[in-house]
Chain A
Amino acid sequence: MNYLYFPGCTLYTKAKNFDQTARNCSLLLGFELVELPNWTCCGATFPLATDNLMALLPPARILARAKEQGEVLTTLCAICFNVIKRTNHLIQKDGEKREKINQFIEMNYQGDLKVLHYLEILKQEIGFSTIQERVKKPLNELQAAPYYGCMLLRPFEEMGFDDKERPTLFEEFLTALGARSIDFPYKIECCGSFQSVGTPEVATECAYRILTSAMRQGAEVIVSTCPLCTFNLDQKQSDILKAHLDFKTIPVLYFTQLLGVAMGLEPQTLGFEQNAVDPIPLLKRKGLV
């Protein structure tokens, strides 16, 4: 079984390690991510003004093209996923807007594509129990804090990913890999998002609170599903160190990197060089690399 895959811009640049590990793990799990031809930027944010149809055209075009190729579209980046899934939802539910959008993009898309996050593919299509069986190197009780952020979960009515206040899908995934999933209250809080551009101190503070909350619960590593979250939580740790003298750094990994470790992929293929806080000492300590 192969899945149509929308990588998104960041996965070609800052988050190459996210893209590569996902593709490699797929092959080991018996499926292939088939890249959607001629894909464009997803639009990067879902427009909050209800009459701003212009911003919906890029994701609508992506969906319409994907529908010509298959029935399921998967993404990795939580923001791309949010934009594409919500646009799909809107096209499904709002006939008037659907018609306008279709006229504009000169296509005929009815909203009948299934948009799934890669984690959902792993759970629904592959099954966490299958993954558990395929694990070559169980994560040895590595204390991993699943960080959902907001984009996977909200708005709940449109995303339908998991319970918006107490999601468990990510935890189930980590447990299947042999990690010990760490519950912490900030797992669904905002990472600071685009504030890191305009008012970086706000984003730094968000990251500080998220990371220290996880560490207080015993986390050794933070696991992320989003390049922007990872940027704020990982790259920004040098800024946190300047603002908070008590701060200790902690590695932040994409969930696919951790999956790669558990599937026995060679460490040099896991793209750790793109992680700001080096995870290798921790993984060595745990006997995982």
Chain B
Amino acid sequence: MGGENKIEMGTSENGFIKRAMVIGGGIAGITASIDIGNAGYEVLLIERLPSIGGHMLQLSETFPTLDCAQCTLTPKTVETGQHPRIRLHTYSEVVRVAGRAGNFSVQIRKKAAYVDWEKCTGCGLCQQKCPSRYPSEFDRRMGLGKAIYTLSPQAVPNKPVINPEHCRYFLEKKCRVCEKICPVGAIHYQQEDRLIEEKVGAIVVATGFDLMPVERFGEYGYGEIPDVIDGLSFERLNSASGPTNGEIRRPSDGRIPKEVVFIQCTGSRDPERYMPYCSRVCCMYTAKHARLYKHKVHDGQVYIFYMDIRSTGKGYEEFIQQTMEEGILYLRGRVSRIFREGEKIVVWGVDTLTGKKVEVLADLVVLATAIVPHQETKTLAQILGIHSDSYGFLTEAERKLKPVETNQEGIYLAGCAQGPKDIAETVAHANAAASKVQALFATH
């Protein structure tokens, strides 16, 4: 476990600090951290959530191999947590950055967890006994979480935090169950945010992405139809660790949906109303969703509305071909409106290949909503003095030849913070960012 143990800091004779900070603990940040750490340099990994893993930890299976995301990722998160040269600062945010390559001064806010992580053994008793339940963000508000929680049973670090907005003690000054049950006395309701100062020589920004909220789409019900969900929500429904233990059950009444509609390009490639760019992963993950659904619900019918199929990665086109052969109905056209009629969701679309209007009475609708930068990325760009584009994605130094460098020497980009990417591309991008850091350190 990284914990708070002091790591020696490498410095060259001219004072160039050979130690990196990676911001964001998703697959991009984890990959970059392990690479830099393995090269012999120290790494501070900053993550805003209580544990690392990012969105990949929410996924059920990954394309094009259909292997389990958690099985692929957990060895990486564990390696990160145990790496002798990586120090984790989870539940933390970068507040201020000054200086230049080789000598950045960084201020980090360590948010109050209300749990003394030094004492906590990660036994999980507090989470078992906590009486407060509320919709869990990790489960896309489809399942219930506790007020004292870790993001997953395999969380790295496996230390809980208390959400004061839902904790009975913070709200009503009652309860204190976790404090009573904790065998090592780790609960600290008085804990406050802490600011710490660090020195690093290079920074990798790997703050990832968000999905455009379903609430943005008026024609699809403004997020008020419970069985109209987004792609990440479907991942949670399909995940063995998700709110339905991996059974595909729709949120409104828990029934197994028999007619499922997927809508690609929701908010992407729509310059007039939403995002003009392609989100790059939706064609593939929708095909994956369709197949995983069919594997579980044999008599279910799947409809996929698409504009084009963009399957340019290795093995991707083959994956799509196979999906089409599995009896999944691809309809080339857009959906104009979705509304609720009784227990059904009425989907109005068009099949442009036959020129016919299509009406589907669906049980579940999955919107492949646009990938957008994480909302705090813009603020972080200002803190770092690097550029972001009009959407908020961070700007690389040169479109073709410098895809990981920024306008600031010593600051590099990895993953979806720079633009939409799938996992394979993200890992390659993070490898590249890490190699840039190594080259910078090796030349000083």
Which listed residue (A165, A185, A213, A216) contacts B218, Cβ 8 A? Answer: A165
Chain B residues with Cβ below 8 Å from A216 are 341-342
**Does B389 have its Cβ within 8 Å of any Cβ on chain A?**
no
Q: B341 near A213 (CB under 8 angstroms)?
A: yes
12 additional A-B pairs beyond A165-B218, A213-B341, beta carbons within 8 Å, are A163-B218, A164-B218, A165-B219, A165-B222, A166-B218, A166-B222, A185-B339, A185-B340, A185-B341, A185-B346, A216-B341, A216-B342
Main secondary structure of the interface of A (DSSP, over half): loop
Closest to A156 in B: B218
Chain A residues with Cβ below 8 Å from B340 are 185
B-side residues, CB < 8 A to A, are 218-219, 222, 339-342, 346
Chain A residues with Cβ below 8 Å from B339 are 185
Question: A155-181: contact bitstring with B at CB < 8 Å (1 yes, 0 no)?
Answer: 000000001111000000000000000
Chain B residues with Cβ below 8 Å from A185 are 339-341, 346
Closest to A217 in B: B341
A-side residues, CB < 8 A to B, are 163-166, 185, 213, 216
Q: How far is the CA of A165 from the CA of B223 in the complex (A)?
A: 12
Q: How far is the CA of A216 from the CA of B340 in the complex (A)?
A: 12
Q: How far is the CA of A107 from the CA of B342 in the complex (A)?
A: 55
Q: How far is the CA of A164 from the CA of B342 in the complex (A)?
A: 23
Q: How far is the CA of A163 from the CA of B222 in the complex (A)?
A: 11
Question: 9 A–B contact pairs at CB < 8 A?
Answer: A163-B218, A165-B219, A166-B218, A185-B339, A185-B340, A185-B341, A185-B346, A213-B341, A216-B341
Distance to closest chain B CB from A123 (angstroms) = 21
Q: How far is the CA of A210 from the CA of B339 in the complex (A)?
A: 13
Q: How far is the CA of A213 from the CA of B346 in the complex (A)?
A: 12
The 3 A-B pairs of least Cβ separation, nearest first, read A165-B218, A185-B339, A165-B219
Closest to A186 in B: B339
Q: How far is the CA of A164 from the CA of B218 in the complex (A)?
A: 8
Chain B residues with Cβ below 8 Å from A163 are 218
Q: How far is the CA of A135 from the CA of B218 in the complex (A)?
A: 34
Q: How far is the CA of A136 from the CA of B340 in the complex (A)?
A: 36
Q: How far is the CA of A146 from the CA of B315 in the complex (A)?
A: 52
Distance to closest chain A CB from B300 (angstroms) = 25
Q: How far is the CA of A157 from the CA of B341 in the complex (A)?
A: 29
Q: How far is the CA of A185 from the CA of B346 in the complex (A)?
A: 10
Chain A residues with Cβ below 8 Å from B341 are 185, 213, 216
Chain A residues with Cβ below 8 Å from B222 are 165-166
Chain A residues with Cβ below 8 Å from B218 are 163-166
Q: How far is the CA of A185 from the CA of B340 in the complex (A)?
A: 7
Residue among A163, A164, A166 with the highest chain B CB neighbour number at 10 A = A166
Q: How far is the CA of A213 from the CA of B342 in the complex (A)?
A: 10
Chain B residues with Cβ below 8 Å from A166 are 218, 222
Residue among A163, A164, A165 with the highest chain B CB neighbour number at 10 A = A165
Chain B residues with Cβ below 8 Å from A165 are 218-219, 222
Distance to closest chain A CB from B338 (angstroms) = 9
Distance to closest chain B CB from A155 (angstroms) = 11
Distance to closest chain A CB from B391 (angstroms) = 21
Closest to B219 in A: A165
Chain A residues with Cβ below 8 Å from B342 are 216
Q: How far is the CA of A101 from the CA of B222 in the complex (A)?
A: 40
Q: How far is the CA of A176 from the CA of B271 in the complex (A)?
A: 39
Distance to closest chain A CB from B270 (angstroms) = 15
Distance to closest chain B CB from A188 (angstroms) = 9
Closest to B217 in A: A165
Chain A residues with Cβ below 8 Å from B346 are 185
Distance to closest chain B CB from A161 (angstroms) = 14
Q: How far is the CA of A168 from the CA of B265 in the complex (A)?
A: 29
Chain B residues with Cβ below 8 Å from A213 are 341
Closest to A189 in B: B337
Closest to A188 in B: B337
Chain B residues with Cβ below 8 Å from A164 are 218
Distance to closest chain A CB from B94 (angstroms) = 38
Closest to A157 in B: B272
Distance to closest chain A CB from B424 (angstroms) = 37
Distance to closest chain A CB from B215 (angstroms) = 11
Q: How far is the CA of A142 from the CA of B346 in the complex (A)?
A: 28
Distance to closest chain A CB from B332 (angstroms) = 24
Distance to closest chain A CB from B70 (angstroms) = 38
Q: How far is the CA of A207 from the CA of B349 in the complex (A)?
A: 20
Closest to B346 in A: A185
Q: How far is the CA of A213 from the CA of B337 in the complex (A)?
A: 15
Q: How far is the CA of A185 from the CA of B222 in the complex (A)?
A: 13
Closest to A164 in B: B218
Q: How far is the CA of A163 from the CA of B219 in the complex (A)?
A: 11
Q: How far is the CA of A165 from the CA of B340 in the complex (A)?
A: 14
Distance to closest chain A CB from B305 (angstroms) = 18
Distance to closest chain B CB from A11 (angstroms) = 31
Q: How far is the CA of A118 from the CA of B294 in the complex (A)?
A: 53
Q: How far is the CA of A185 from the CA of B219 in the complex (A)?
A: 11
